[in-house]
Amino acid sequence: MNIFKLIKQNDLFRNFEEREIDAIFDCLSGRIVKYSRGKIVAAEGDDVSEIGIVLSGTLLKFVTKPGGRREAQGTLEAGGMFGEVDGYCGEGKLTYSVVAAEEVMILFITLSTIVGRCSKNCAHHQKLLDNTLRYLAEHITSMNKDTEYLLIKSMRLKIAKLIYDKFLIQNSLNVDLGMNRNEMAEYLNVSRPSMSREMIRMREEGIIEFWKGKITIKDLDRLEKIVTAK
């Protein structure tokens, strides 16, 4: 297994060559840990001193509500990471938990080794720092987008805007939402039955087709009109 090729999937190592990752790897004091399915990798409230990068497998993110109910917060596939925002932008405590949905392999990197001065004057460290700052800026933009969905009152507009935004990012009429129906309802802060009824109406009107977390846009013009209507 080529570990460096797996690491390249992560945004912090965007545009890195494998030889560059090899050169910087010792500076980062990274450690790789495997977890079996069902294992808690990190728990809500934990102190954050490292970021975790998913090299293979899938993690489930969730928060625990009063009464012990778990609320899904999406998934992390290979290339995804956790702890980075809470570690750099928050109060140093993890605001969600992550559990292995299957066997996973995680690369842990100490936060201070990314933003701190490289003791070896590593030539590639500045590139990593630039990528980290870019990623955090993009994440903040994404969080603002999440808030925008919550402020929308119309169920149809919430659904249409989410699908349309994914279309713009993925540049494909076959959109992968990256979440199942329950997670989508929680993300949009709506009831699943009401959301499902509206999606069925949009399907009957020939605007979209859907299967689980996959959406096919059948009528892009009508979808755009929903999103841009005043």
Gyration radius (Cα) of the chain, Å? 20
Alpha-carbon gap, residue 17 to 197, rounded angstroms: 47
Say whether pLDDT at 44 is over 90.
yes
Phi, psi (rounded to 5 degrees) for 156: -60, -40
Phi, psi (rounded to 5 degrees) for 38: 90, -10
The rounded mean pLDDT for the chain is 86
Confidence at residue 208, expressed as pLDDT on a 0 to 100 scale: 97
Say whether pLDDT at 116 is over 80.
no
3-state secondary structure 165-176: HHHHHHCCCEEE
> Burial letters for 8-42: b for 16+ Cβ neighbours within 10 Å, e otherwise?
bbbbbbeebeeebbebbbebbebeeeebeeeeebb
21 and 4 Cβ atoms separated by less than 8 Å: yes
Confidence of residue 202 (pLDDT cuts 50, 70, 90): very high
96 and 61 Cβ atoms separated by less than 8 Å: yes
Say whether pLDDT at 215 is over 80.
yes
> Quick one: which of 106, 220, 109 has its CA closest to 167?
220
109 burial (CB, 10 Å; 0-12 / 13-18 / 19+) is buried
Say whether pLDDT at 141 is over 70.
no
> Burial letters for 187-216: b for 16+ Cβ neighbours within 10 Å, e otherwise?
bbebeeeebeebbeebeeeebbebeeeebe
Residues of the chain with CATH 2.60.120.10: 3-142
Say whether pLDDT at 138 is over 80.
no
Q: What letter would DSSP give residue 178?
A: S
Q: 3-142: what CATH class?
A: mainly beta
The two tokens of residue 202 are: 């949009």
Alpha-carbon gap, residue 226 to 159, rounded angstroms: 10
Percentage of the chain exceeding pLDDT 70 = 91
> Quick one: which of 60, 125, 155, 144 has its CA closest to 98?
60
Dihedral through CA 137, CA 138, CA 140, CA 143, nearest 10?
A: 180
Each residue's pLDDT tens digit, 65-83: 888 788 777 788 888 899 8
What type of residue is 32? I
Residues of the chain with CATH 1.10.10.10: 152-228
Choice among 21-25, 114-118, 132-136, 206-210 with the minimum mean pLDDT: 114-118
99 and 47 Cβ atoms separated by less than 8 Å: no
CATH assignment of 152-228, among 2.40.50.140, 1.10.1040.10, 1.10.10.10, 3.90.580.10? 1.10.10.10
